[in-house]
Amino acid sequence: MDLSVKLRDKSARIGIIGLGYVGLPLAMEFCRKGFRVTGFEVDRRRTAELRRGKSYIPDVASEKLRKWRRAGLFAAGGRCDALSGQDVLIICVQTPLRKTKEPDVSNIVAAVREIARRLRRGQLVILESTTYPGATEEVILPVLQESGLVLGRDFFLAFSPERVDPGNPIWGIANTPKVVGGADPASTRLAAEVYSCVVDRVVPVSGTRAAEVVKLLENAFRSVNIALVNEMAQICRRLGLDIWEIIEAAATKPFGFMPFYPGPGIGGHCIPKDPQLLSWKMKTLNFDPRFIALATAVNGGMPEYAVGRIAEALNGARKPLHGSRILALGAAYKPGSADYRESPALDVMDLLLQAGARVSYHDPLVPDLEVRGRRLVSVALTDRLLKAADCVAILTAHRQVDYGRVARLARMVFDARNATKGIASAKIVRL
């Protein structure tokens, strides 16, 4: 039966490879629309939790997971042999950078090789994992063609960049427009049909390379603008101005300005990494993307800048950073999220530990983590703890924390996120 027909009558089987922050919410959305979904995950701990009906992704409620399992719409831990039974295979695996800043596509290649061994006529393969321009057709397509099947006739291939924003209560999978680009026109059309089943608006582009660059532009845009405002924060400090006041006033302009906010660095799995993918690719073409390099350098220097401000504030109170008790508030890379991948808060804590500070942290969403090989556990935010700290450093501003209380009880507050906005106190040092 034609895939278009299967999509219309919801008999199409959806396979999702990689059940992390991207794959699992996407699986739930297809289930919500009545499709049968098989999830493929190499992490056995994740698979075991899913089979018990427990979600490890904050944006996916365990109740929903159990509901779709009971309805027979979701199965986790599918074996590779089951790949051939899927009509659509969506790859959502991680694509990290190597230490050399080169893209590591080994997870993608591993997934595609398993698919290629079982590829059958009529299947559509979609890559959602962010990668460098050209990777879909340079890395995936040749492996699939080893099966002897022909693109556009026997099988189909597309790229559709994920646009997941963990913890965002407004924009989810259904109402966030989805960009799709196929390796041929038929692949673009089919991929658009697939996502039209679960997304309000699909935006087709000319091909896989265009779709790949869309994602990289989106995150390079954020990286460059965050770097600009991080540099402006340092400029305002030297001018004796409040960067937060400046941004708030500039944001009143109804055109030509979009507010971005400074912080102790940038984090998450995408923004620190994705512009580097574009940079790497362009250097292979003898083009030096200078904006990306400069933004990376500015943002990468912000944790050190934040620690320097903390040390300076302590010196003003006649306390050395070495031996001081620093309580870090927030470890996640952004408010409302439990994700601390590439979080600048960890970089700040790392530098503080290197300087000899005694560091503890509180994050209502991150119960434990590892910094410099040391396992830290989130401490209860008691009055005694706040009073005992030589400095409380606000690194991620979760809404669950009462910052008025923090400002009232702490001896000194370093606020890297403007969480204490509106609180006038000589104890508060702002970024």
Q: Would residue 197 show up in a list of annotated catalytic residues for this protein?
A: no
Number of C-beta neighbours around residue 287 at 10 A: 10
User: DSSP string covering 172-238, please?
Assistant: -TTTS-EEEEESSHHHHHHHHHHHHTT-S-EEE-SSHHHHHHHHHHHHHHHHHHHHHHHHHHHHHHH
* Burial status of residue 263 (CB atoms within 10 A of its CB: 0-12, 13-18, 19 or more): buried
Number of C-beta neighbours around residue 26 at 10 A: 25
Residue 296: what residue type?
T
Give the Cα separation of 97 and 403 in Å (integer): 36
Torsion of CA 190, 174, 344, 289, to 10 degrees: 40
Q: How many residues does the chain have?
A: 431
Grouping H, G, I as helix, E, B as strand and the rest as coil, residue 7 is: helix
Looking up tokens 């910052």 gives 403
Give the Cα separation of 231 and 273 in Å (integer): 20
Give the Cα separation of 237 and 259 in Å (integer): 18
294 in Cβ contact with 227 (< 8 Å): yes
Grouping H, G, I as helix, E, B as strand and the rest as coil, residue 398 is: coil
Q: Which of 197, 236, 270, 391 is catalytic?
A: 270
Give the Cα separation of 179 and 163 in Å (integer): 9
92 in Cβ contact with 18 (< 8 Å): yes
Query: Closest Cα to residue 307, out of 260, 357, 244, 261?
Result: 357
Widest distance between CA atoms in the chain: 77
Give the Cα separation of 12 and 86 in Å (integer): 8
User: Residue 272 is encoded by which pair of tokens?
Assistant: 């620190």
CA 280 to centroid of chain Cα atoms:
20
* Catalytic (active-site) positions: 270
